[in-house]
A and B are shown apart, each in its own frame.
Chain A
Amino acid sequence: MKQNRREFLIKSGCALTMTALATQSRHFGLMQAMAQKTSTKFESGVPDDYRALVCIFLSGGNDGNNTVIPIHNDASVSNYAAYSAARSPQGLALAQNTLLPISVPKIGNLAYGLHPAFGTLPGGLNPGIHPLWATGKMAVVTNVGTLVRPMTRAQYQTNSVQRPLNLFSHNDQVNQHQNCRSDAPLLTGWGGRISDKITFTDNPNRLVPTLSSLAGTQLFTVGDTTEPLSLAPAPTPLSNVLALVGYNNSPVTNARLEALSAALTLDTNQELITASNRIHRAALEISRSLNNTSEVTVTFPNTDIGNQLKQVARMIKTRTVLGINRQIFFCTIGGFDTHSGQLAGQNFLFTQLSQAMRAFYDEMTVQALGDKVTQFTMSDFNRTFNPASSGVNVGSDHGWANHSFVIGDAVLGGDFYGMNTTNGTPFPTLVNNGPDDADGGSNARGRWIPTTSVEQYAATLSNWFGLPAADMSYVFPNLQSFTTGNLGFMQP
């Protein structure tokens, strides 16, 4: 059943009046256009051109150097021996025969390998994401990271090209991945800014925001004129995530709800009260739109990331009820700050990640949305190639350029993407104090300088998503500092 906004407000019988809401909703993009005439684009109630982006943020800084690893023995580019020589003395190298092979056309079909947790596992629900490489549904974007503009190693070391603010600091590098601005603070994220531009046309009913976060308030999700919906993950049913308890439609509780609602529009001379009220009001409003949802088909792992993606899949399944044409989702999986205990820690997290992403991919196939929904990963930063500590405790410290996964039927998968590094391939040279290392000297630890910027990565995804070219500079204000805004890993 489809409700339009006006009907819903009347039906809700809520004490909030239209006027009260309108005056209170300066920043709540959901509300902004509610008094305006609804677009006629979705009179049928079924979105005809659906697309969704699902960001999975690997919090803490995932060690990309143990995510995608050379298996081959070709000495003309960094090979397994080079990798092993740098990481095995402290015990951080993965054994060559455990890696899951992927053939890379861009590097002469040489064999690289994924971490073993990305494949079929004992007790696993599904075969993981590794098989999606061979079917061409998964790409890896290599050596991508925060940049103000392209910079060589010499430029980095002489400080002659502006560096991103506060390299190697968690929160700064997280923010720069999420807001796509490395040279100045910016209070909106690139997901939020896309939402600013497309909400009016692609989310005409505005029963829910265009963007949903399964991980609370994150910079990625914040727009200038739009705000995200924050949802609790499964197993909480989607229809319950924003439901108040203690109300049974009796006169006593109806009067209670009226008083609760009335307070949400008062004391506007206090900005903090108003800010809190805005969030509470949005929650109550949106909850009415989420009472007609349906369950997914595929079995998801009962992990935090599995439950986040399951809730995302439910929201996507509700798209026709909501009449929404474009959706953006944000999920996180934490624990990647592996200064120690990395072998066990990363294995544990990759198992969860791979199983959850594959379940989600399969569910999209069931929903016949395989080519309409794209999952992609980001992380704070890569980690040092040179290990930190040693033995059973071995880990790694904060690095820079990293590798990301992009998964979906619209992905031109089965290859590496990104600008070439100094070795003429998109994959960095795995040598401490080598040509791609930001560090210098005998204590250099292998923090790869990015050759591809986060902006280029994000812009490629946004372009596929349907962000109009005219809006690219609003969403990615620094994109013109790089040679291309399309890395080519998505179908045109």
Chain B
Amino acid sequence: MSKPFWNLSCFIFLICLFCVRAYAEIDPNPDSPTPVLLSQANSSQVLAVNSATWKGNLPKQSPTLFRSGRENLFTLFVTNLDLMDNEGANALRVYLYQKSGKTFELQTEELTMVSKTVYALKVRIYDRDGYRGQPLDDGESVIYLTWRGLVSNALKISLGKSGGEIIIPEFLKQDSFKDETPTTEAVGYRWSGDRARFFEQATFGATTRLDNRVRRIGLRTWLAEQFEAPYPTNPYPNIPPMPTNIPPACSATQNPTCFRERYTMQPLQQWLFKEAFYGDAPLKHRIAWSLSQIWVTSGVTIQQSSQMIAYHKILAGNAFGNYRDLMSEMTLNPAMGDYLDMVRSTKNNPNENYPREILQLFSIGLFMLNQDGTIQRDGQNNPIPTYNQETINNFSKVFTGWTFCSGAGCPSGVPGTLNFRDPMVVNPANHDTTEKTLLSYPNAVNTMIPACTNCTTAGETAVYAEASLNQALDNIFYHPNLPPYISKLMIQHLVTSDPSPAYIERVADVFVNNGQNVRGDMKAFIRAILLDPEARGNVKTAPRYGKLREPVQLVTNLGRLFPAKSWDGNSLSDGGLSFFMDKMGQNPFYSPTVFNYFPPDFIVPGTTLTAPEFALLNTSSAINRTNFISVLVFDGITANVTDSLRGTSLDLSEAQAFAEADASGTQLLDYLNTKMLHGTLSAEHRNALLTAISAVPANNPNLRTKTAVYLIAVSSQFQIQR
């Protein structure tokens, strides 16, 4: 962007700022207090009583033994909570660590007030999921809880028998975090650690400019601003639609450049990265990217990048709109129709692909959910399916007859090519007009679509088909699973891999009703996700808080912190990174299947950690991540590696100024600690880094800076966003 234009946009920004200030709220202090689990007097034993015999007072003493089991409940006592209205037992998560090395998440049942400051928490001595078995009665265990991403003190409890002393594991020994002293500015968002975290959640990472801006205007004002920001800053690639049969003049052998531009996702992928590095509407870009990992289509099947543009426009166009509109537009999007075969589903030969996946993956999931995202269970403790094969058969009938728009009435059609720009249209002759039974749930909307009684003409059938489609989508949209299902997915994509049920419930409640009785309002939904107390707070201490940066985040977070440039540093990056993205397991717009690059319920092998992005992390990709960062930081990505024009490198000058000013390396590390690690760099890690930096001659501040950036970027301390 040229300098004068930047000044102009700055000016416009200031004017806009003036406008939004009028209705913007001030950001409250984001920090929640640290919960405290009460112990017995002068003891590291937890204060706990058998729930069945508890009298309702704060007990002076505690039994010494408890038994594990689904039928066994005990009551713990928690203080130092500052609860919101309707914040109950599902806001607190109780963990039991046993000598086996296994950690169980016990089922919390009820939270009641005992005194002004103390709450009683009733807990089942039973792991709800039980993926790695159940707690054993093997004597002393460690118990602790988390709330809003903060961990309590760890205490001991005896199960089944006393004795067998347990050592509190290292992972529960919390460093004493120093609270940040906020700057004296009266307005804006003063918490630097939380600002960095916020940008990683809401965008593709912090830039210096963005950070300064939010420090001044605050999160809420910035969000309001972003909801109105023009998008995209970099125009979508303008690729002409091509015939399905690749002409020799554009074949991979005869004209690889033509082939790459028109018959692969490369241009769209480059655009994605450029917009992520340089765009001025980063919130919308990030939300669209997250939605693309729910409503998945893929270049594995879709032939041309031009065919995916309309799809992406729907994601972005509805990112701040209403989820119901997203459902409609996506259902009739030709890329989705081609990918999941709705475009070729007819009444005589229906196709089950789209109906199955819209239910399983895009809206309600397989099992009935509570509003907080937990699975409903029947009397035998079995999950309750949301639908069966009959339901799929019926939805299949609804979705028959739709196909590519062609001929007159299709404004964007190009002769000789399939129309991926205009929405699909119905061919009445191929639509099934018989009765359909849809999803059934309490107060269900449109559980049944009657057979058409007046489909005597094509026009009448078309009207019926369109009405049926809307009725079926409403039937899905009003299913009680949809709010918690979508809320959990979006929280996982943006904030943390294993959100508390209470967080999911708060967000799902806003999805159900934005305050003006509107269901599916995306703006309110996004605000609820990003401003929740579990998302915000300067320091997060819970051992399971955060998420692994997916490869796209890893790349873009670095490319925004240390502004991405072309390989020679003289111009902007061209966004050509697919060679490395593929090696790291996330080549954008090439999801391996409709199940996205990673599943939302992935459990890290050997643990009980829910962490979707870890499905992409293995010995092979771990080395590929490290090696990618090595190339990016030390050498830059040259044009010829990716068959692109200008390559990509990082501008480290801002960091290098600290390396030049201070030969000890301390200032450099302080700077990187704030920018990359939200201020969490431990003393030991700092010492290790200082040794490596000091091994580089002080007269080479560039290599010192690269060494430090590389070492932090490859560390798990950075790769886990928290």
Interface-located stretch among B184-192, B197-205, B276-284, B612-620: B612-620
* B55 CB within 8 Å of chain A: no
For the complex, give the distance between the alpha carbons of A57 and B626 in Å.
Answer: 29
- Which of B341, B611, B682, B691 sits near A389, CB closer than 8 Å? B341
Confirm or deny: B638 has a beta carbon within 8 angstroms of a beta carbon on chain A.
Answer: no
B348 touches A390 (CB 8 A): yes
Contact B717 A266 (CB under 8 A): yes
- Asked if B688 is at the interface of the complex by the 8 Å CB criterion, the answer is yes
Residue A26 CB within 8 A of the other chain? yes
B722 within 8 A of A: yes
B residues within 8 A CB of A66?
A: none
What is the number of contacts between chain A and chain B, taking CB atoms within 8 Å?
A: 237
As a 0/1 sequence over residues 157 to 185 of chain B, the CB contacts with chain A under 8 angstroms (1 = contact) are 00000000000001111110000000000
Q: Are A263 and B717 in contact (CB under 8 A)?
A: yes
The residues of B that contact A19 with a CB separation of less than 8 Å are none
> Is B547 in contact with chain A by the CB < 8 A criterion?
yes
Whole-angstrom CA separation of A446 from B142 in the bound complex: 53
Give chain B interface residues in 536-592, CB to chain A under 8 Å.
541, 543-548, 583, 585, 592
Across the interface, do B620 and A245 meet the contact criterion of CB distance under 8 Å?
no
- Chain A residues whose C-beta falls within 8 Å of the C-beta of B414 in the assembled complex: none
Query: A393 to B611, alpha carbons, bound, how many Å?
Result: 38
* Contacts A267-B717, A269-B174, A273-B717; A258 near B691 (Cβ below 8 A): yes
Check: B689 CB closer than 8 A to any chain A CB: yes
CB of A122 within 8 A of chain B?
no
Interface string of A238-257 (1 = CB under 8 A from B): 00011111100001101110
A269 with B617: in contact, given A171-B599, A258-B688, A263-B716 (CB under 8 Å)?
no
Which positions 605-646 of chain B face chain A at CB distance < 8 Å?
605-607, 609, 611, 614-624, 626-627, 630-631, 634
Tell me if A395 counts as interface (CB < 8 A to partner B).
Answer: yes
Q: Are A222 and B605 in contact (CB under 8 A)?
A: yes
Interface centre among B544, B595, B627, B692 (most CB of A within 10 A): B692
Determine the distance from Cα of A390 to Cα of B583 in the docked complex, in whole angstroms: 37
The reply to whether A167 and B389 form a contact with Cβ atoms under 8 Å apart is: yes
Q: Which residues of the other chain, A, contact B684 by a CB distance below 8 angstroms?
A: 262, 266
| The stretch of A100-108, A111-119, A276-284, A371-379 that contacts the partner chain | A276-284
A244 touches B626 (CB 8 A): yes
Binds B, one of A69-77, A333-341, A421-429, A479-487: A333-341
Quick one: which of A192, A225, A230, A243 has the most chain B CB within 10 A? A230
Among A171, A244, A259, A287, max chain B CB count under 10 A is at A259
In the complex, the answer to whether B341 meets A388 with C-beta atoms within 8 Å is yes
- The answer on a CB contact under 8 Å between A259 and B717 is no
Query: Which B residues are in CB contact (< 8 Å) with A251?
Result: 695
Q: Are B634 and A246 in contact (CB under 8 A)?
A: yes
Quick check: is A94 within 8 A (CB to CB) of the other chain? no
Of the residues B131, B352, B615, B719, contact of A398 by C-beta under 8 Å: B352
Give A272 to B604 CA distance when docked, in angstroms. 9
CB-CB nearest in chain A for B619: A283
* Residues of the B chain whose Cβ atoms lie less than 8 Å from the Cβ of A264: 716
CB-CB under 8 A from A269, the residues of chain B are 170-175, 541, 543
Query: What chain A residues lie within 8 Å of B132 (beta carbons)?
Result: 187
On whether the beta carbons of A252 and B353 are closer than 8 Å, the reply is: no
Rounded to whole angstroms, the CA-CA distance of A286 and B300 in the bound complex is 33
With contacts A26-B101, A230-B618, A273-B720 known, is A252 near B696, CB below 8 A? yes
Residue of A nearest to B544 (CB): A271
Q: Is the CB of B605 within 8 A of A27?
A: yes
Taken together as a complex, chains A and B put the C-alpha atoms of A457 and B651 apart, in Å, by 56
Cα-based distance from A197 to B207 in the complex (angstroms): 51
Confirm or deny: B714 has a beta carbon within 8 angstroms of a beta carbon on chain A: yes
A398, B353: Cα distance in complex, Å: 8
Task: Write out, one digit per residue, whether chain B residues 322-355 have a CB within 8 A of any chain A CB (1) or not (0).
Answer: 0000000000000000001100111011111100
Assuming A168-B389, A244-B626, is B620 touching A283 (CB within 8 A)?
A: yes
Choose one: B392, B606, B624; the contact of A27 (CB below 8 Å).
Answer: B606
How far, in whole Å, are A169 and B170 apart by their CA atoms in the complex?
40
A387 to B350, CA, bound (A): 9
* A29 CB, nearest partner CB in chain B, Å: 9
Q: Which residue of B lies closest to A209 (CB)?
A: B619
Q: Which residue of B lies closest to A250 (CB)?
A: B695
Chain B min CB distance to A262 (Å) = 4
Contact B606 A388 (CB under 8 A): no
A325 to chain B, nearest CB (A): 21
B711 touches A256 (CB 8 A): yes
B172–A339 CB distance below 8 A: no
Picked from A23, A277, A393, the residue with its CB within 8 Å of the CB of B170 is: A23
Q: What's the tally of chain B residues with a CB closer than 8 Å to chain A?
A: 89
Query: Please, which residues of chain A bring their CB within 8 A of the CB of B340?
Result: 339
Q: Is residue B36 contacting chain A, with contact meaning CB distance below 8 A?
A: no
Residue of B132, B175, B615, B720 most packed against chain A (CB within 10 A): B720
Given the known inter-chain contacts A246-B630, A266-B685, A272-B720, please indicate yes or no for A279 contacting B619, CB distance below 8 A.
Answer: yes
Chain A residue numbers with a CB within 8 Å of B389 are 167-168, 439
**Interface 1/0s, chain B 680-703, versus A by CB < 8 A?**
101011001101101110000001
Cα distance, A292 to B707, chains bound together (Å): 30
Picked from B129, B366, B716, the residue with its CB within 8 Å of the CB of A280 is: B716
* A134-177 interface code vs B (CB 8 A; 1 in, 0 out): 00000000000000000000000000000000111111100000
Q: Is A244 touching B630 in the complex (CB atoms < 8 A)? A: yes
The distance from the CB of B515 to the nearest CB of chain A, in whole angstroms, is 34
CB-based contact A244/B623 at 8 Å: yes
Restricting to A28-80, which residues have a CB under 8 Å from any CB of B? Answer: 28, 59-60
- Are B626's CB and A337's CB within 8 A? no
Judge if A235 is at the interface, Cβ distance under 8 Å. no
Question: Could you tell me if B366 and A169 are in contact, using CB atoms closer than 8 angstroms?
Answer: yes
Q: How far does the Cβ of B60 sit from chain A's closest Cβ, in whole Å? A: 32
Tell yes or no: B715 within 8 A of A by CB: yes
Q: Is the CB of B626 within 8 A of A187?
A: no
Quote the shortest CB–CB distance from B330 to chain A (angstroms).
Answer: 18
Q: Is A227 within 8 A of B711, CB to CB?
A: no
Give the distance to chain B from A85, nearest Cβ to Cβ, in Å: 16
Is A217 close to B, CB under 8 A?
A: yes
A394 to B346, CA, bound (A): 11
A443 at the interface (CB under 8 A from B): yes
Q: Is the CB of A272 within 8 A of B606?
A: no
Tell me if B385 is interfacial: C-beta within 8 Å of chain A.
yes
| B 117-144 to A, binary, CB cutoff 8 A, 1 in contact else 0 | 0000000000001011000000000000
Distance between Cα atoms of A217 and B621 in the complex (Å): 10
**A390 (CB) vs chain B CBs: closest residue:** B349
Determine whether the beta carbon of A172 is less than 8 Å from that of B170. no
- What is the bound-complex CA distance between A340 and B131, given in angstroms? 37
Q: Is the CB of A276 within 8 A of B131?
A: no
In the bound complex, residues from chain B placing their C-beta under 8 Å from that of A267 are: 680, 682, 685, 716-717
Hey, which chain A residues are within 8 Å of B546, CB to CB?
Answer: 270, 272
* Cα-based distance from A224 to B711 in the complex (angstroms): 32
Distance of A277 Cα from B625 Cα, bound (Å): 13
A216 contacts B691, CB within 8 Å?
no
**Nearest CB on A from B217, distance (A):** 31
Interface residue from B341, B605, B620 paired with A241 (Cβ < 8 Å): B620
B393 close to chain A: CB less than 8 A:
yes
Docked CA distance A254–B696 (Å): 11
Known: A230-B621, A275-B614, A286-B619. 4 other contacts (CB 8 A): A267-B716, A278-B606, A279-B619, A339-B352
A-B contact pairs, 11 of them (CB 8 A): A224-B606, A230-B618, A252-B707, A262-B688, A263-B717, A269-B175, A272-B611, A275-B611, A339-B340, A388-B341, A389-B345
B interface vs A, CB < 8 Å?
101, 103, 129, 131-132, 170-175, 300, 340-341, 344-346, 348-353, 356, 360, 366, 385, 389, 392-393, 497, 541, 543-548, 583, 585, 592-593, 595, 599, 603-607, 609, 611, 614-624, 626-627, 630-631, 634, 680, 682, 684-685, 688-689, 691-692, 694-696, 703, 707, 710-711, 714-717, 719-720, 722
Top 9 A-B residue pairs of the complex, sorted by shortest distance between their CB atoms:
A27-B606, A230-B618, A255-B695, A259-B692, A276-B716, A262-B688, A283-B619, A339-B353, A397-B352
